[in-house]
Structure formats: structure tokens, C-alpha cells
Amino acid sequence: MKTLIRNARIVSPDLEIPKGSLWIENGKIAGVAGEGTEAPAADQEIDAGGRLVVPGFWDIHCHGADRNDVCDNSVEAIRHIAKRKLQEGVTTWLPTTLTQPQDKLEEIAGKCAEYMKNPEFCRTPGLHVEGPFINRKNAGAQNPEFVRPPDFGELKRIHDIAPALIVSIAPDVDGANEVIAKAAEAGITSSAAHTSSTAAQIREAKKHGLKHLTHFCNAMTPVHHREIGVVGAGLTDDSLMLELICDTIHLCPDMLQLIFQLVPIDRLMMITDSMAASWIGEGEVKLGGLDVLVSDGKAVLKEGGALAGSALLYNEGVRNVAELTGLPLPQIVKATSWNQARSLGIEGFGKLEAGYHADIAILNDDFSVWKTLVGGEER
């Protein structure tokens, strides 16, 4: 099957073609060309109408969407979330778990593994296991009842059911560095989360294999003039990758501008951290058994008012970053898929170049999603 996308504004990391064509063969990009270059014959054509054509987004931290949650422990919930993600321009996502009992986490991994056998919508290469190895004092919207000491055996049992690509863990908790080291040996990326770590503890965890900071600035130690904390470590360390929730709520507009100004774009990864609140507008939902109120795009715990994940759609986060930072789109799209795939060691994704998988989002001028292709096919 050969597909031609023509009359497109093509944007890829460090590349922009104002009016170009892109052709796809056997699920991969076969070529990209500018105006005036004759494209090969194709079985089907898509006239992009001047729309923005970018690499499909990677949401590596997403708990749910549209009243469905990964922790609902249902294959149908996973399917519905993946379908909604696709409608946001996301072509790859990592179902993200919460701090829950071990037996339930293993059951959830089993449901995810079942969906992974036939991923009808987004690609789903593995899980993001957020908790249960966090600092109870920084639990945020994680259920403190199920917080427990780091145990690689628990993580390994989940990993054996469905690949755990990321584990979010608090480096300041006893035993965390041992788990981080064993996770690295198993090919699992460790990310600091829900933590009271000092900057020194983050640097020590890095020696054991820590690579990411989960939902940067949220549920972690802020910058102080006598201790720069996890946030300071993230701003100054040239190797840590930072997850960013770009809803202008978890990070206010000024903070988003500051981060994009201070931190090289190659270290930034846009996520949603969305949960069942996304797509619903307003109402009440559950998060890990906790009641959540959703109003005006903001999701908070009914008891205590802590932010409870987001109601963000991925494409809206991209629009926010474009409007707030003014950065060129060929730079912004590094943080929407290329950096995520590269940080996880998954090759062939995140660029619109010959040989890369034809995972593509086609966006209108307002960043709403017109079409999403996975392996060159509209799903």
C-alpha cells in the first residue's frame, strides 16, 4: 500500500517544508520533498490542504481519558483511552498506573498486555508504573494507603506481564537506589517522582541509573536559595529528561516560559498526565479510588483539593507551548515525540524522514486534530 500526503506544511525536528509532500510505503516514510518535486504514484492520496503535518505525539505519562482509567482494570477501558489519545494526535502512549495494591497492579498489567497483542488505536509498547515506591509525604493525588518501600521483585513481576518502560520512584526513600540500579539492568527507565529529595540525592540516584523527572515541578522539592531541590537539579543538570504537563495549571505560563528558556529543548518531554477527567468538560470522576472534581479544565481531589492529574488533551498542550514560547515548531516537535522515543531507546520514531515509521498527526491551524495515522493508516 502506497500513500501520498500532499499540499502539506511538513514540520519535523530541525526541518520545515512550507508546502511539501510525503509518501508512505509498507507503514514507513519512503520520502519527503518540497514543492516542485514530482511525487511517485500512490494507491491513495491525502490532500492536507496546507495543514500542519508532524510526527505523531508520544504521551509517556497518561492515566486515562473520558471517564476511563488504566486502573479500572479493564481491557475495554484501555481500548477507549487509546482511542481518545489517537484523537489527540497521539500515536504512542504508555498506560500509566497508580499507587495500588500489588495484586491489582499485576492484574492491570495483564489487561494492558492483552490490549498490546492487538493495539487497534495507539501503539502501546509498555507501561509507565507510577508508584507505589514514593514518599508518602509527597503522595499528592496518589493514594497514601498503598505506598510501600521499594521492592524490585514487585516491579519485576509487573514487568514480566507487560513491559515496564518507566518506573516513577522517590530516590529519597530507603532502598530506592538499589531498585533504580536493578531497573536499569532490566531496561526500565527510572524517573524521580513524589519525592522530598535534595539535589544531592538526585545526583546520587543518577549514578545508579535515574534518567527522568516525572511531571517536573509537581510533587517534588522546589528551588530554595539554600537547597535547590529536585527542581533545581532538573534545571541545571545537562542529562536529566524532564516531563512537562503543559496545561498552564500544573505549570503556570511564566514557569513554562522559564523552563523552555533555560532548559535545552532536547531535554524536554511534553506529557498530559491526563486521567478520567479529560474529554468530559466538568463533573466527578475517580482516581485510584479517590474522588476527583473537574471544573474549568482543572481536576482536584474532592478531599484536600490537591491537583489530581490533568484534563489536558495532548494537542492543546502543544498549542499552549507554541503560543507561550514563540519557539519555532521544528524545535517544539522535538519535545512531542522525538525526545521521548530517544530517551527510551526506541528507534525509528519521532521524525518525518525516510525509513521512519509513518506515525503522523495532521493538525489544523488551531492545533485541533484533523487526522492521525499509525503506520501510514488512519485509525
* Catalytically active residues, by annotation: 273
Look at residues 281, 289, 328 and name the one whose alpha carbon lies nearest to residue 308.
289
Partners of 127 in the β-ladder: 164
Of 273, 261, 267, the closest CA to residue 313 belongs to 273
The C-alpha cell that represents 220 in the structure block: 517534588
Q: d(Cα 224, Cα 231) in Å, to the nearest integer?
A: 9
Measured in residues, the chain has a length of 379
Q: What is the number of other CB atoms lying within 10 angstroms of the CB of residue 22?
A: 26
Cα 151 to Cα 116: distance, rounded to the nearest angstrom: 26
Hey, how many other C-beta atoms are within 10 angstroms of the C-beta on 179? 26
Closest by CA to 60, choosing from 195, 148, 153, 163, is 163
Please give the Cα distance from 129 to 189 (Å, whole number).
10
